[in-house]
């Protein structure tokens, strides 16, 4: 909650207090020590936390691994090695092979790519929808607000998983792009509510009124005054949204409603590996490990971001 | 109170009894993580005697509230407090919290600025007062405590106290809550009442009532009062002694008469000269006190006021002056008994000031009035703004899904006025009278519920979108709170240029115009890329003014433009507004509750009450001869920063609070509070009860009162 309040207020009172202010009115007082701007302040706080660096480095390594890994590996994800079926990790097949001889290392990399792409698109996309819907509803009020809130509530009560199960025959043959859109489409509602309530209070602030009385059109007011003032919230939501989207994708795929064969994602790999988790653990352990490390790294970044933006949360609290 | 005043020897040397409260060398510092600590109070010493009324005056951040919280032991545990506080012989700083609790509320009580947050919302007001009684008197029965609570509410002037004691704080108005706080503070007959800005959140008429109640409470209990305020007018009428604080230090301390008539510290002189006085306002320019107090974390060497002081010498930058008695009889004598009733000031040049070699106009000269070019002020030129019969009612609904209307809030109920080019209309009234709704209706530029708004002779209801946008260029607004009015995420250059972007001005031209505007309002054009939080309150308000002027408007709506600023900053902003008006031939619609400032800047004044204008005319005439009893009451409630005038004034006090605008009052809607109505014979009252008075012209002033010719009755009565 304090996070929400903070986005409205000036950031980090203690830091601001320390900075000397220019003296005198209209006296060109030379270049005094400039108080830091909010963006720089957040960046400074962010870079001071070790969690951020751990998360950033790990996610950087994972991205590099997923993108560049296949270039330095002889096997592709779908080719079969009939001589080495159901083999454990060896020098030849680093993560082993599955029962039909496909190389698990190559498959994990491809699956990781897919999961990352879906997560990195669906997370920010959900935030974008939330920002647009939330700010429009909060700013316009009246009928528009009521209709949009009604839609938000409807989507919130609809169980998205069951909906997907019902709709899954329609998705057959459609690409992963639809899955991404679907995940984004069901992940923005809570944030939209938050943005809406923030907008409602910002809307009555004098600087927004001033813009309105100047004749600034609504989209410009939203883009110039409203969204930047909730931006820190949105950035955090987008980051944590990546985690949620990857999780959603893997669980959907795990149950067979997301990515389907021949496409591979971490979810489908896990689904295949579960049954053999005891007998041939490498089929399960490697994709699961990749998933956990990825989620953990992104979560660390999101967490560090939240602490940097909100001086009253977590480590900043006395 | 009067007893005390007459008994008191003006120089105060007659005191022999030990002081009730003695603060010695009190310092409060707040350590900060990873930075220098905040030195909120730096070694202050003062005394309060039994039954004395001490006013502590200072700007925000001067440490006046922190020092009194230290007295009560209410500072956060992170604060470091040094020095000593002796209260009735006991050292308060050495007591533990339990022992302090025995003193708090019993012997020392406190009245806070915001009575809504000082009262618990879930208990009735009566219960809370009774609790204060029961806490300190175990022998008292619950029933007796409840009865005493009702009695206390009656003392502080709450109507129907039996019923009101059972009400919750949110059912009380701001003024009534503050009365209840006073009732609670005097419940245990304290020896000392500390009032921290008790009237700052209230309207002038209510402020006058509350100060009256505070005086009454003081005389009933014989308690000493420490009143903390930023308003020199408030202390002028009530305090025996005044202590002026600046940057955590006491810079001047003396009797009210001494400090007002013969201040020895340049800061006090500047403050006194910068405050507009309602009686002289409008005839001369205000004296600005530029700059801002230093940051309490990195205090400069020497006198903290040196940077703003017009008579600073090299010694001021070197050593910080101490409090000394500079009276001509005993120049420069260090004060042994901690300023026992002496007039002390902390300034290297106080001796020169005290002896008269440096006069007050030498220290803070009054700026030259502008050479006023007399423009042709034709009566028949088209008014910039003409509002006729403007109405804005809000339906009051109940129920969620099937809401039904249960009443109407008559926020604006038939308001008419006009503003000629180059003129200023002051719109005054208590909060809730509809001032803000009126200006918002004008700025929204949509078809009013009833009536007509003409801007530059064009009816806003008939204009299309493009025409309205063009018209918006001519009307701009400056808001009350400069922090809220500027987007914290944009550099001020972008903020000022915003109205220009709407009208499609090219970026290069925008930048040139921003530089020009910053120069116009007295800011350095090089500051355009800085963010609002880098500026002081007064500078931010200048940015707000620059933004309003960007499109070369003809009319600027000023919504309480200085009321959120510190007293010392106000004069500079008012002067700027006056200059700009002359330079650019602007018209102002000036909304304010501070009558002195309205008198200073306005040409015409409209007094609003419950959505109507009750008096409307030239400012000099209205202030000199108010005809409507409400105007009379408003003017007499406004404090004047001059103890002589303030103590000898006759006041027309209003009863009660502003009625709710949902109430339907037959006849004159001011009847319920009208002091004149109560004096009228019954046959004349019936006119007030049955007919709503319309604005009628008396000489040059329009007044909505049936009996405005009778208003001498009022002045005779008080």
- A95-136 pLDDT, tens digit each: 877 777 788 888 888 888 888 899 999 999 999 999 999 999
Last residue of a domain, one of B300, B331, B363: B363
| Residue B224: pLDDT band with limits 50, 70, 90 | very high
* pLDDT the model gives residue B12: 43
* pLDDT the model gives residue B347: 87
Query: Could you tell me which residue, A297 or B299, shows the higher pLDDT?
Result: A297
B526 and A28 within 8 Å at the Cβ level: the answer is yes
Q: Is the pLDDT of residue B580 over 80?
A: yes
Task: Report yes or no on B72 lying in a domain.
Answer: no
Distance CA(B517)–CA(B548), nearest Å, equals 10
| Residue B588: pLDDT band with limits 50, 70, 90 | very high
Pair B561, B573: CB distance under 8 Å: yes
* pLDDT the model gives residue A169: 75
pTM above 0.90, yes or no: no
Phi and psi of A192, rounded to 5°?
Answer: -60, -40
Query: Could you tell me which residue, B158 or A191, shows the higher pLDDT?
Result: A191
Task: Collect all residues of chain A within an 8 Å Cβ-Cβ radius of residue B531.
Answer: 35, 37-38
Q: Are strands B108-111 and B385-398 parallel, antiparallel or unpaired?
A: unpaired
* pLDDT the model gives residue B716: 65
Task: Report yes or no on B210 lying in a domain.
Answer: no
Task: Collect all residues of chain A within an 8 Å Cβ-Cβ radius of residue B528.
Answer: none
Which of B248, B66, B341, B102 is CA-nearest to residue B92?
A: B102
For B653-684, write each residue's pLDDT tens digit: 787 777 777 777 788 888 888 888 888 888 88
Beta bridge partners of B90: B87
A206 and B36 within 8 Å at the Cβ level: the answer is no
Whether residues B636 and B690 share a domain: the answer is yes
Residue A24 contacts B, CB cutoff 8 Å: yes
Last residue of a domain, one of B546, B576, B609: B609
B489 and A38 within 8 Å at the Cβ level: the answer is yes
For B491-504, write each residue's pLDDT tens digit: 889 899 999 988 88
Transcribe B396-420 into DSSP letters: EEE-SSS-EEEEEEEEEEEEEEEE-
Whether residues B578 and B448 share a domain: the answer is yes
Distance CA(B514)–CA(B507), nearest Å, equals 10
For A242-271, write each residue's pLDDT tens digit: 989 988 888 888 887 777 767 888 888 888
Task: Collect all residues of chain A within an 8 Å Cβ-Cβ radius of residue B551.
Answer: 214
Q: Is the pLDDT of residue B559 over 50?
A: yes
Q: Is the pLDDT of residue B595 over 80?
A: yes
A25 and B499 within 8 Å at the Cβ level: the answer is no
User: Worst-scoring range by mean pLDDT, B225-229, B385-389, B433-437?
Assistant: B433-437
Whether residues B268 and B342 share a domain: the answer is yes
| Residue B336: pLDDT band with limits 50, 70, 90 | very low
| Residue B548: pLDDT band with limits 50, 70, 90 | very high
* pLDDT the model gives residue B606: 94
| Residue A173: pLDDT band with limits 50, 70, 90 | low
Distance CA(B404)–CA(B406), nearest Å, equals 6
For A46-92, write each residue's pLDDT tens digit: 888 888 999 999 999 989 988 888 888 877 877 777 777 777 777 77
Q: Is the pLDDT of residue B607 over 90?
A: yes
Interface of A with B in 216-245 (CB under 8 A): 216, 224-225, 228-229, 231
Task: Collect all residues of chain B within an 8 Å Cβ-Cβ radius of residue A216.
Answer: 498, 501-502
* pLDDT the model gives residue B695: 85
Report percent pLDDT > 70 for chain A. 83
* pLDDT the model gives residue B403: 67
Mean pLDDT of B537-554: 90
Count: domains in chain B: 4
User: Closest approach of chain A CAs to the CA of B541, in angstroms?
Assistant: 11
| Residue B380: pLDDT band with limits 50, 70, 90 | low
Adjacency order of strands within the sheet including B450-455? B404-419, B385-398, B450-455, B458-459
Q: What is the mean pLDDT of chain A?
A: 78
Task: Collect all residues of chain A within an 8 Å Cβ-Cβ radius of residue B561.
Answer: none
Transcribe B37-85 into DSSP letters: EEEEEEEEEEEE-TT-EEEEE--TTSSHHHHHHHHHT-S-TT-EEEEEE
Mean pLDDT of B273-277: 82
Whether residues B454 and B599 share a domain: the answer is yes
Q: Are strands B241-246 and B53-57 parallel, antiparallel or unpaired?
A: parallel
Tokens of B681: 């014979």
Last residue of a domain, one of B187, B212, B240: B187
Write the burial class of residue B380 (CB in 10 Å: 0-12 exposed, 13-18 middle, 19+ buried).
exposed
Q: What is the dihedral of CA B142, B147, B148, B152, to 10 degrees?
A: 140
* pLDDT the model gives residue A135: 93
* pLDDT the model gives residue B358: 80
Greatest distance between any 2 Cα atoms in chain B: 80
Residue A205 contacts B, CB cutoff 8 Å: yes
CATH of domain A41-316: 1.10.3720.10
Task: Report yes or no on B640 lying in a domain.
Answer: yes
Whether residues B349 and B477 share a domain: the answer is no
* pLDDT the model gives residue A37: 56
B297 and A213 within 8 Å at the Cβ level: the answer is no
Which of A274, A271, A253 is CA-nearest to residue A168?
A: A253
Whether residues B402 and B348 share a domain: the answer is no
For B393-416, write each residue's pLDDT tens digit: 888 777 666 667 777 888 888 899
Angle, CA of B67, B68 and B73, to the nearest 5°: 95
Q: Break chain A into its structural domains and give their ranges.
A: 41-316
| Residue A22: pLDDT band with limits 50, 70, 90 | very low
DSSP type of residue B33: T
* pLDDT the model gives residue A197: 92
A211 and B498 within 8 Å at the Cβ level: the answer is yes
| Residue A35: pLDDT band with limits 50, 70, 90 | very low
Question: CA separation (Å) from B703 to B279, B446, B617, B699, B706?
Answer: 22, 29, 9, 10, 9
Whether residues B510 and B598 share a domain: the answer is yes
Report percent pLDDT > 90 for chain B. 17
CB atoms within 10 A of CB B697: 10
B498 and A214 within 8 Å at the Cβ level: the answer is yes
* pLDDT the model gives residue A18: 33
* pLDDT the model gives residue A32: 40
Q: Which of B477, B488, B501 has its CB closest to that of A10?
A: B488
Q: Are strands B324-325 and B344-345 parallel, antiparallel or unpaired?
A: antiparallel
Query: Could you tell me which residue, B241 or B401, shows the higher pLDDT?
Result: B241
Whether residues B442 and B563 share a domain: the answer is yes
Whether residues B147 and B295 share a domain: the answer is no
- CATH number of the domain enclosing B463: 3.40.50.300
Phi and psi of B451, rounded to 5°?
Answer: 90, -170
Mutate to test the interface with B, among A22, A45, A48, A207 (most CBs of B within 10 A): A207
* pLDDT the model gives residue B517: 93
* pLDDT the model gives residue B149: 92
Q: Is the pLDDT of residue A30 over 50?
A: no
Mutate to test the interface with B, among A21, A25, A30, A35 (most CBs of B within 10 A): A25
Q: Is the pLDDT of residue A196 over 90?
A: yes
Task: Collect all residues of chain B within an 8 Å Cβ-Cβ radius of residue A22.
Answer: 534-535
Whether residues B559 and B452 share a domain: the answer is yes
Tokens of B688: 């007030």
| Residue B75: pLDDT band with limits 50, 70, 90 | confident
* pLDDT the model gives residue B478: 92
Q: Three-state DSSP class for B306?
A: helix
Q: Which of B292, B484, B524 has its CB closest to that of A205?
A: B484
Query: Could you tell me which residue, B505 or A308, shows the higher pLDDT?
Result: B505
What angle separates helix A282-309 from helix A104-140, to the nearest 10 degrees? 30
Tokens of B536: 């002081």
Distance CA(B177)–CA(B418), nearest Å, equals 38
Mean pLDDT of B319-326: 82
Question: CA separation (Å) from B226 to A172, A278, B54, B100, B191?
Answer: 79, 79, 5, 19, 11
* pLDDT the model gives residue B227: 92
Transcribe A162-226 into DSSP letters: HHHHHHHHHHTT--HHHHHHHHHHTSSHHHHHHHHHHHHHHHTSHHHHHHHHHT--HHHHIIIII
Distance CA(B223)–CA(B236), nearest Å, equals 19
* pLDDT the model gives residue B643: 85
Query: Could you tell me which residue, B615 or B689, shows the higher pLDDT?
Result: B615
Whether residues B621 and B636 share a domain: the answer is yes
Mutate to test the interface with B, among A150, A209, A210, A222 (most CBs of B within 10 A): A210
Q: How far apart are the first and last CA of chain A?
A: 17
Mean pLDDT of B189-194: 91
Q: CA neighbours within 13 Å on the CB side: how many for B639? A: 26
Whether residues B423 and B532 share a domain: the answer is yes
| Residue B379: pLDDT band with limits 50, 70, 90 | low
Q: What is the mean pLDDT of chain B?
A: 84
Which of B285, B381, B291 is CA-nearest to residue B581?
A: B285
* pLDDT the model gives residue A283: 79
CB atoms within 10 A of CB B474: 18
Domain that residue B303 falls in? 263-363
Residue A149 contacts B, CB cutoff 8 Å: no
> What was the ipTM of the complex prediction?
0.74
Adjacency order of strands within the sheet including B324-325? B108-111, B192-196, B224-229, B53-57, B241-246, B249-255, B344-345, B324-325, B333-334
B542 and A25 within 8 Å at the Cβ level: the answer is yes
Q: Are strands B385-398 and B404-419 parallel, antiparallel or unpaired?
A: antiparallel
Mean pLDDT of B218-231: 89
Q: What is the dihedral of CA B33, B35, B37, B38, to 10 degrees?
A: -100
Task: Collect all residues of chain B within an 8 Å Cβ-Cβ radius of residue A38.
Answer: 488-489, 531
* pLDDT the model gives residue A60: 92
Query: Could you tell me which residue, B221 or A39, shows the higher pLDDT?
Result: B221
Q: What is the dihedral of CA B59, B63, B64, B66, to 10 degrees?
A: 140
Which of B689, B692, B688 is CA-nearest to residue B707?
A: B688
* pLDDT the model gives residue A310: 66
Query: Could you tell me which residue, A5 or B427, shows the higher pLDDT?
Result: B427
Mean pLDDT of B296-308: 84
* pLDDT the model gives residue B613: 92
* pLDDT the model gives residue B234: 85
User: Worst-scoring range by mean pLDDT, A163-177, A225-239, B348-362, B634-648?
Assistant: A163-177
């Amino acid at each position: 909650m304090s996070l929400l309040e903070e986005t409205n207020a000036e950031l980090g009172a203690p830091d601001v207090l320390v900075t000397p202010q220019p003296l005198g009115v209209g006296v060109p007082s030379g270049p005094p020590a400039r108080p830091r701007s909010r963006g720089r302040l957040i960046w400074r706080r962010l870079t001071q936390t070790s969690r951020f660096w751990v998360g950033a480095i790990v996610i950087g390594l994972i991205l590099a691994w997923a993108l560049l890994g296949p270039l330095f590996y002889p096997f592709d994800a779908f080719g079969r090695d009939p001589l080495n079926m159901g083999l454990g990790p060896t020098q030849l097949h680093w993560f082993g092979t599955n029962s039909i001889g496909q190389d698990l290392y190559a498959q994990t990399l491809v699956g990781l790519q897919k999961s990352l792409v879906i997560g990195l698109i669906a997370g920010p996309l959900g935030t974008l929808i939330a920002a647009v819907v939330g700010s429009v509803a909060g700013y316009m009020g009246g009928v528009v607000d009521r209709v949009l809130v009604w839609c938000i509530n409807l989507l919130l009560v609809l169980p998205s998983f069951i909906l997907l199960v019902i709709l899954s025959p329609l998705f057959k043959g459609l690409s992963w792009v639809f899955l991404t859109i679907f995940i984004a489409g069901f992940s923005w509602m809570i944030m939209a509510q938050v943005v809406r309530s923030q907008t409602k209070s910002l809307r009555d602030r004098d600087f927004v009124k001033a813009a309105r009385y100047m004749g600034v059109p609504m989209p410009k007011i939203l883009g110039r005054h409203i969204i930047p003032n909730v931006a820190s919230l949105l950035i955090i939501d987008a980051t944590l949204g990546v985690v949620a989207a990857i999780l959603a994708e893997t669980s959907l795929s795990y149950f067979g409603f997301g990515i389907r064969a021949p496409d591979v994602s971490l979810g489908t790999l896990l689904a295949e590996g579960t049954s053999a988790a005891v007998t041939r653990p490498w089929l399960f352990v490697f994709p699961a490990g990749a998933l956990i490390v990825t989620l953990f790294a992104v979560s660390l970044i999101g967490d560090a971001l939240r602490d940097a933006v909100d001086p009253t949360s977590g480590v900043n609290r006395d | 109170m009067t007893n005390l005043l007459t008994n008191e020897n003006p120089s105060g040397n007659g005191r022999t009894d030990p002081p009730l409260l003695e603060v010695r060398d009190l310092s409060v510092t707040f350590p900060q993580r990873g930075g220098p600590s905040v030195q909120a109070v730096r070694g202050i010493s003062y005394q309060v005697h039994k039954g004395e009324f001490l006013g502590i005056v200072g700007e925000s951040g001067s440490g006046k509230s922190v020092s009194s919280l230290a007295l009560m032991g209410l500072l956060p545990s992170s604060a470091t407090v040094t020095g000593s506080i002796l209260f009735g012989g006991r050292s308060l700083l050495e007591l533990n919290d339990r022992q302090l609790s025995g003193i708090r509320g019993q012997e020392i009580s406190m009245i806070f600025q915001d009575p809504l947050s000082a009262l618990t919302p879930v208990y009735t007001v009566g219960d809370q007062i009774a609790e204060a009684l029961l806490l300190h008197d175990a022998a008292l029965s619950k029933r007796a405590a409840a009865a005493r609570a009702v009695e206390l509410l009656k003392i502080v002037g709450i109507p129907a106290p039996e019923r009101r004691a059972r009400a919750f704080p949110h059912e009380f108005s701001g003024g009534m809550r503050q009365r209840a706080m006073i009732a609670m503070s005097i419940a245990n007959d304290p020896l000392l009442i500390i009032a921290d800005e008790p009237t700052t959140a209230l309207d002038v008429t209510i402020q006058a009532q509350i100060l009256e109640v505070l005086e009454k409470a003081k005389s009933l209990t014989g308690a000493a009062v420490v009143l903390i305020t930023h308003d020199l007018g408030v202390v002028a009428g009530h305090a025996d002694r005044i202590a002026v604080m600046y940057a955590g230090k006491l810079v001047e301390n003396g009797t009210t008469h001494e400090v007002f008539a013969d201040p020895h510290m340049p800061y006090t002189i500047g403050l006194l000269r910068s405050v507009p006085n309602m009686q002289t306002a409008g005839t001369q320019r205000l004296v600005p006190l530029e700059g801002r107090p230093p940051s309490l974390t990195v205090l400069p060497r020497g006198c903290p006021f040196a940077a703003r002081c017009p008579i600073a010498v090299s010694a001021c930058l070197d050593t910080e002056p101490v409090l000394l008695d500079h009276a001509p009889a005993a120049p420069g004598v260090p004060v042994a008994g901690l300023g026992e009733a002496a007039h002390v000031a902390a300034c290297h040049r106080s001796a020169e000031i005290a002896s008269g070699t440096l006069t007050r106009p030498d220290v803070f000269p009054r700026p030259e009035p502008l050479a006023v070019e007399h423009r042709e002020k034709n009566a028949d030129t088209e008014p910039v703004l003409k509002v006729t019969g403007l109405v804005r009612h809000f339906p009051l609904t109940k129920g969620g899904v099937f809401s039904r209307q249960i009443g109407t809030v008559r926020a604006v109920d038939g308001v008419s006025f006009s503003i000629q080019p180059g003129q200023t209309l002051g719109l005054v009234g208590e909060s809730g009278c509809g001032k803000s709704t009126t200006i918002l209706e004008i700025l929204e530029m949509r078809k009013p519920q009833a009536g007509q708004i003409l801007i530059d002779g064009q009816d806003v209801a008939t204009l299309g979108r493009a025409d309205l946008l063009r018209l918006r260029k001519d009307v701009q607004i400056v808001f009350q709170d400069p922090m809220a009015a500027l987007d914290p995420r944009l550099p001020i250059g972008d903020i000022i240029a915003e109205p220009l972007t709407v009208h499609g001005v090219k970026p290069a031209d925008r930048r040139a115009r921003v530089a020009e505007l910053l120069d116009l309002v007295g800011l350095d054009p090089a500051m355009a890329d800085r963010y609002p939080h880098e500026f002081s309150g007064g500078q931010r308000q200048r940015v707000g003014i620059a933004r309003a002027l960007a499109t070369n408007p003809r009319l600027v709506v000023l919504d309480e433009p200085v009321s959120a600023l510190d007293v010392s900053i106000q004069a500079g902003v008012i002067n700027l507004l006056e200059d700009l008006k002359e330079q650019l031939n602007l018209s102002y619609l000036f909304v304010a509750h501070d009558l002195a400032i309205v008198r200073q800047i306005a040409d015409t004044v409209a007094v609003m009450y419950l959505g109507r204008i009750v008096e409307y005319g030239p400012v000099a005439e209205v202030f000199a001869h108010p005809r409507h009893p409400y105007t009379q009451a408003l003017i007499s409630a406004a404090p004047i920063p001059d103890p002589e005038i303030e103590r000898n004034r006759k006041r027309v006090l209003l009863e009660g609070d502003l009625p709710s605008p949902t109430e339907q009052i037959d006849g004159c809607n001011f009847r319920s509070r009208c002091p004149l109505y109560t004096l009228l014979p019954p046959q004349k009252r019936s006119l007030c009860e049955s007919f709503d008075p319309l604005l009628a012209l008396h000489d040059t002033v329009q007044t909505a009162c049936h009996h405005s010719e009778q208003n001498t009755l009022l002045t005779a009565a008080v």
